[in-house]
Each structure stands twice: as structure tokens, then as C-alpha cells.
Amino acid sequence: MASHRKSRTPGPRVAGIRTPALATAALTSVALLSQTAEAAPGEDRPSLEEVEKKVGDLYRQAESATEKYNAAKEKTGKQRKRVDTLLDDVAKRTQKLNEARSELGSYAAAQYRTGAGMPDTATFLLAETPQDIFDQRQVLDRMTGRQKAAVDDYVTQQTETMKKRQEATESLRTLTETQGDLKTAKATVQKKLADARELLSKLTAEEKARLAAIEKRKQEEAARKAAELARQQAEQEQAREEAAQQGGGASEGAGSTGSTETPPADSSYGTKAEKAISFARAQIGKPYVWGATGPGSYDCSGLTQAAWKAAGVSLPRTTYDQVNAGTTVPVSQAQPGDLVFFYDDVTHVGIYIGNGMMIHAPKPGTYVREESIYYDGDSAIHSIVRPA
């Protein structure tokens, strides 16, 4: 999603995981220019870091709310299906209960016609709970085999019907709660994005030109870092090939983080990755829409989920779950098809295509595109995960 992150002191990188630092320069410029334009002469103007944090927080909060929305939407859908299933089951069991009650009623009517006083089976029809029935042991002793069978069926149907009705009631309560979570997350996303748009709308033509220049410099730096990663990976591959020719094991790759090198993915992974990347590439140019899973638009995790689904691999819906759906590898050992996660709260994801590049759905107002994995700086990368 959006290109931003919280300001924090950079920490160490462990096993391919990097901690975030500052947010996107472009977004901070936007907010800075907006606030500068509004400031009266002589007023103290906010620093770049202060304005950067304000705008960055809006997009980060929108990202977080989007993933919460995605999770709540998925949970709501599953819960609604469960409720529908339970209600269907209750209806079927109620029908069977009515049939069992009708059979008992026929026995009661027959006993009444023969002048047998208080019909034995009628006693069960007057019982309000299964426990009432079980307490009447002496009545059961006077019944025929067919009557007892009818009572057993009635007791079973009544017990199961009551149980399913209780489950349906509890499921309806849970559904109401998840629908509330969905509504809250949706409102939060809309509010944060509206606040960000308001800041962006105050830019002058000159400020937009300055913003474009800042963005261009940032893209150039991202491209340089991507090229450096591509060089490191090429050296690693060459070292592996040389080791294989000499009959030795794989050596530690150039530019690694100091951990033991992760073995290269097998050929089956490569085949699946090709399908996932091919699907993702076909989506380039489609708009980013928060909460969307295709086919006309996507959010970040919706795109990666759909891409790997095309390769026959089922990924969870949210970034929070996708980051745990595979093996974490160092950035220097990323291979095409791997998922690239961003920021310390894991709110953005793209699919790696090689040479330091990825395909992702960036943020509102943009389209699915190819971009350097360093588009927001190398410290923005949280981890690389191999999903299959």
C-alpha cells in the first residue's frame, strides 16, 4: 500500500530482516509544502521530519486499518457461512422434531381412544425439556418397544435441535461483532485517506514540480540499490556454479548478512514462481483499491494472494498472515516469486521478480507496477519470505 513508515532509530538487521527508519521523501515533501504554504510570514515552520511523520502516520494508519478490514471481511464471510449452515441445520432438525412429535401424538391419541386414562406418550409431549423426559423412568417401563423407539427418536431430535439453536444464536452474536469490526476498520481507512488527500490538495504548481524532482531522485537511488543487489546475487550464483563444478558445497553468497546461506529454491518452486510472476505482470496498470482482490483492482496483499493462487498455492488474505506463510530468507538471497514485506508492522507486500525489482500495488491513486524493492529505502524492507 502506501509508501511510508514511522520514524525510529535504525536497528540491526537479523536473518534477512531489516528495521524501518524514515518514511517516503515524496510524501513528506507534500505535507511540508502544504504546511509551509499555509504558514504566515514569521511563523515557525515544521521541520521535514515533523511533517514527514504526520503524513507518514496517516498512510501507515490507513494501511494498518486496511489489513484489519481485510481480516474482518474474511472472518465475516466465514462466520456468515457458518450461521447459514447452522440455520439450515436447525430448520431440518425442527422438521424431524415435528415428525417425531407427530408420531408420539398418534400413540397418545390411540391410548386415549382405548380409555387408558393419562396416555403414557402424552406425558412426553407435555415435557418441556429432555431432562423432563429422562426423569419419567416409570413411564418408560410401561411402554411397548415401538413406543420407546418413538420416544428415543423424539428425545434425540429435541436435544439436537436445542443444541443447534444455541450454536446458531452464539454464531449470530459473533457475526454481529465481526461486522462491527469491519465497519470500524472501513471508517478508519476512509478517514485517514481523506486527511492525506486534503494535505495533497493544497499543493501549488511549483510545489508539485519540486515534489516530482524529489521523487525522481528517490527513484534513481532505488534503481542504484536494485542494481547493486542484482550484482550481489549474480556473484552468489556464479560462486554456487563454481562450487558445484568443483564438487564442493555452496559457498556463502556475496553481500549476505553473515548467516548461513539459504539453499536455492528447487525447480518446482521456480515453476510455480514463474506462474505467479506471470499473473502479477498481467495485472500491471490496474488500479490500487484498498480491500480489493481482483480481477479489476487490487490492494497489496490481494495482488500477492491472487498471483500465488494462479500458481496453485493458497496464501492467507492479510500481510500479517502472509509473512508467516513460508520461509524467511536474507534479502541478498531473494529469488523470483519471493514475497517482500515492508515496515515494522508488516503492512505492505510485493512479489520479487529478480534484479532487485518487484511487482506491487503501491497505494491509493497509483496502479500495479514494477518497482525497485528499495522504493522507500533499504531500511523499509522488513523481510523476504519464500511461500512455497
Residues designated catalytic: 300, 348, 360
In order of 99, 135, 154, 174, 198, the CA distances from 124 in angstroms are 14, 10, 9, 35, 70
Q: 48-113 and 300-310 helices cross at what angle (nearest 10)? A: 60
Q: Residue 109 and residue 119: Cα distance in Å, rounded?
A: 8
Nearby residues of 164 by Cβ (< 8 Å), 6 or more positions away:
86, 89, 90, 93
Q: HEC profile for 105-136?
A: HHHHHHHHHCCCCCCHHHHHHHCCCHHHHHCC
Q: 48-113 and 145-200 helices cross at what angle (nearest 10)? A: 160
Q: Residue 27 and residue 33: Cα distance in Å, rounded?
A: 10
Identify which of 72, 317, 301 has the alpha carbon closest to the alpha carbon of residue 185. Answer: 72
Specify the DSSP class assigned to residue 340. Answer: E
In order of 24, 297, 368, 373, the CA distances from 365 in angstroms are 16, 12, 10, 19
What is the enclosing helix (H) or strand (E) of 189?
helix 145-200
Q: Which three cell numbers stand for residue 20?
A: 524501518
Q: Which three cell numbers stand for residue 45?
A: 515552520
Q: Residue 179 and residue 350: Cα distance in Å, rounded?
A: 29
In order of 96, 117, 139, 147, the CA distances from 143 in angstroms are 22, 14, 7, 6
- Collapsed DSSP state (helix, strand, coil) of residue 207: helix
